[in-house]
């Protein structure tokens, strides 16, 4: 009897946590279809706000900027982060612990401080604020996440496979392309997807480093909020949520397929 009560309490507790986490998101999605322009009073269902979004040139430009920045910074952070993880995991050198510590510090630094630091740095080297500065900034704060995920993947597979391949005559390049890279590829893809989400959704770094011609989608939403909350903002947030959740679902499919391959 006690165990049954405990199970029910556990289910209710977990349900309350999910309600707390996802109910605000659900409200945003539901009110993106609201006829009322006030954004709070429900007046019925409409798709007009989505049509208005797709006809807004400024929103389309902001979306393109966000997409270009996210893709470019993801490629840079994935290459640098994966290369760094392989090098730091496989080789020992003086100062290795310091380098790893500095990479981890980047994750816990408040974004406001990083935004100010990047703004000052770009001003010192006279790099114009805009798309290029945003790509470098996003790659900087995304790269440690890729590094950590790839390094954990490197620590998770049997390295005796590499030794066996080298004993059979394979050189280091052949071992890397045939064994190491395929095994860490899921980690690289997972890190790349996280880097993309972090870049696409970022506000604070964009606020400091973006130029007048490089407005991103989160900054566009922030500027629209100055005129009050409207269903158009809810519709824009819903589209961003769809992109984010789509990437997360892709990550789960990659993870599940990889587990199935390893079990077989």
Q: Which residue has the tokens 């981890």?
A: 104
Rounded to whole angstroms, what are the CA distances from 223 to 66, 88, 110, 219, 227? 15, 42, 22, 6, 8
In a domain? residue 33: no
- Count of positions (residues) in the chain: 264
**Ranges of residues in the chain whose predicted pLDDT is under 70:** 1-2, 37-41, 158-159, 227-229, 255, 258-264
Is residue 142 within 8 A of residue 74, CB to CB? The reply is yes
pLDDT of residue 228: 67
Q: Domain range for residue 173? A: 49-263
In the numeric block, which tokens belong to residue 174? 């052949």
CA distance 235 to 165: 54
Q: Dihedral through CA 109, CA 115, CA 116, CA 118, nearest 10?
A: 100
pLDDT of residue 71: 92
In a domain? residue 105: yes
In a domain? residue 25: no
In a domain? residue 30: no
In a domain? residue 26: no
In a domain? residue 39: no
In the numeric block, which tokens belong to residue 219? 């900054």
pLDDT of residue 186: 81
DSSP one-letter code for 177: I
Rounded to whole angstroms, what are the CA distances from 190 to 87, 143, 177, 185? 19, 12, 19, 9
The domain total for the chain is 1
Please give the distance of CA 164 from its chain centroid, rounded to a whole number. Answer: 37
pTM of the prediction?
0.79
Query: CATH code at 140?
Result: 1.10.3720.10
Query: Tens digits of per-residue pLDDT, 79-114?
Result: 999 988 888 887 777 877 787 777 777 788 888 888
In a domain? residue 229: yes
pLDDT of residue 231: 76
In the numeric block, which tokens belong to residue 70? 């996210």
In a domain? residue 69: yes
CA distance 244 to 196: 9
pLDDT of residue 138: 92
CA distance 205 to 141: 9
Query: Tens digits of per-residue pLDDT, 214-236?
Result: 888 888 888 877 766 677 778 88
pLDDT of residue 218: 84
Of the candidates 184, 199, 200, the one whose C-alpha atom is nearest the C-alpha of residue 254 is 184
pLDDT of residue 169: 75
């Amino acid at each position: 009897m006690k165990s049954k009560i405990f199970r029910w309490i556990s289910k209710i507790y977990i349900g309350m946590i999910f309600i707390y986490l996802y109910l605000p998101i659900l409200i945003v999605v539901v009110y993106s279809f609201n006829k009322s322009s006030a954004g709070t009073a429900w007046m019925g269902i409409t798709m007009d706000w989505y049509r208005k979004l797709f006809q807004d040139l400024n929103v389309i430009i902001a979306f393109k900027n966000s997409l270009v920045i996210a893709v470019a910074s993801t490629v840079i952070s994935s290459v640098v982060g994966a290369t760094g993880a392989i090098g730091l995991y496989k080789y020992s050198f003086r100062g290795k612990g310091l380098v790893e510590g500095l990479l981890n510090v980047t994750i816990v630094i408040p974004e406001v401080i990083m935004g100010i630091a990047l703004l000052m740095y770009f001003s010192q080297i006279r790099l114009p604020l805009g798309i290029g500065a945003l790509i470098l900034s996003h790659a900087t704060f995304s790269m440690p996440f890729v590094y950590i995920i790839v390094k954990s993947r490197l620590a998770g597979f049997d390295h005796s496979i590499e030794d066996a391949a080298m004993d059979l005559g394979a050189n280091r390049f052949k071992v890397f392309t045939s064994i190491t890279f395929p095994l860490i590829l899921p980690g690289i893809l997972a890190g790349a997807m996280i880097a993309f989400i972090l870049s696409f959704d970022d506000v604070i770094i964009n606020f400091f480093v973006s130029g007048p011609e490089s407005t991103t989608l989160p900054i566009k939403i922030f500027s629209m909020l100055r005129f009050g909350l409207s269903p158009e903002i809810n519709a824009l947030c819903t589209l961003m949520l769809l992109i984010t959740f789509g990437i997360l679902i892709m990550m789960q499919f990659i993870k599940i397929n990889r587990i199935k391959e390893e079990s077989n």
